[in-house]
Amino acid sequence: MSLVAATRSEYTKQFSTAGWWVLGIVLVAYVGFTAAALAFVFGGLASGELTGASGPLMSSAGVPPLVYSSATAVGYVFPLLIGTLMVTTEFRHKTLTPTFLSTPRRGVVLVGKFVIGIVVGLLYGILGSIAAVAAGAGVLSVFGIDAELGSSDTWVLIGRMLLAFALWALIGIGVGTVVRNQVAAIVIVLAVTLFIEPIVRTIGGLVEGFGDVVKWFPSAASDALVGQTIFGTMGTGNNSALEWWGGGLVLLGYAVVFLVIGFFTTWRRDID
């Protein structure tokens, strides 16, 4: 089977089931709510209309990109999850057995997943960006803050978010090839993204010198790629953050490392 056929097969597997759009709906709801909440808080602070609030003074011009970047700041877990499920679901349901029988070249199968992972990641990026911009801009308009939708900087930000979503999906595929057990893989992904990394990054913003280590973490690299970070606004960010292109390369590096490890270990083993 050629790469084109393997990619077409992977496309059918992903978009013929309900998993991708169920996660997509949750992504839109989660990102939309978060963006609206951030717009309310930071928009209220910047405009001075949020009575009884205390916090750092913010420039109204800096609020829209911060709000929109919440699509990746909190939504990156979704492409990471879908990428992981693209692989672990096949191990769980033994669908890799007929796939490998029809395509003995396992590297071709993995490349097919790689291609469709980019497609799904970009799709999630579009959904997340629309949710963040729509919800955020709507709330900001209440405070009379320009949503900056006509600014080229806003569209550059969105473009970087799409790239980040695609890279997170590839990292998820890599994680799935390393950790074959679906339950274990999901637990690891959620534990790292929701607990371990946020806690360690917060410590990195408070402990002198530790920030130089934290900036190489996947979520910190993602923030650097996008160019905005909630952690930085909250005063727990890393002052020595990577350049945007460096953040992208670090994310790509994580994806490549996981994929290589997975390919030469679990991916080449017999299916249980």
Q: pLDDT tens digits for the chain (272 residues)?
A: 578 888 888 898 889 888 899 999 999 999 999 999 999 988 888 877 766 555 555 678 889 999 999 999 999 999 999 999 999 998 887 777 777 777 767 788 888 999 999 999 999 999 999 999 999 999 999 999 998 998 999 999 999 999 999 999 999 999 999 998 999 999 999 999 989 998 888 887 777 767 788 889 999 999 999 987 776 565 545 556 789 999 999 999 999 999 999 888 877 665 65
Residue 207: predicted pLDDT:
74
Q: What is the C-alpha separation between 68 and 114, in angstroms, rounded?
A: 27
The answer to whether the CB of 186 falls within 8 A of the CB of 91 is no
Residue 128: predicted pLDDT:
97
Q: What is the C-alpha separation between 39 and 31, in angstroms, rounded?
A: 12
Please enumerate in sequence order all residues whose Cβ is within 8 A of that of 117, keeping only pairs 6 or more positions apart, or say none. Answer: 83, 86, 166, 169, 170, 172, 173
The answer to whether the CB of 136 falls within 8 A of the CB of 40 is no
Provide the residue type at 1 as one letter: M
- Reading the block at residue 19, the tokens are 């998993």
Tokens 């695609």 correspond to what residue?
166
Residue 114: predicted pLDDT:
92
**Ramachandran region, residue 270 (left: φ > 0; alpha: ψ -120 to 50; beta: rest):** beta
Residue 190: predicted pLDDT:
93
Q: What is the C-alpha separation between 241 and 224, in angstroms, rounded?
A: 6
Residue 73: predicted pLDDT:
92
Q: Which residues of 173-193 are buried (b: 16+ CB within 10 A; e: fewer)?
A: bbbbbbbbebeebbebbeebb
Residue 32: predicted pLDDT:
97
Phi, psi of 252 (to 5 degrees): -60, -40
Residue 232: predicted pLDDT:
57
The answer to whether the CB of 132 falls within 8 A of the CB of 36 is no
Overall residue count recorded for the chain in this entry: 272
Residue 247: predicted pLDDT:
94
Identify the CA nearest to 181 among candidates 85, 250, 95.
Answer: 85
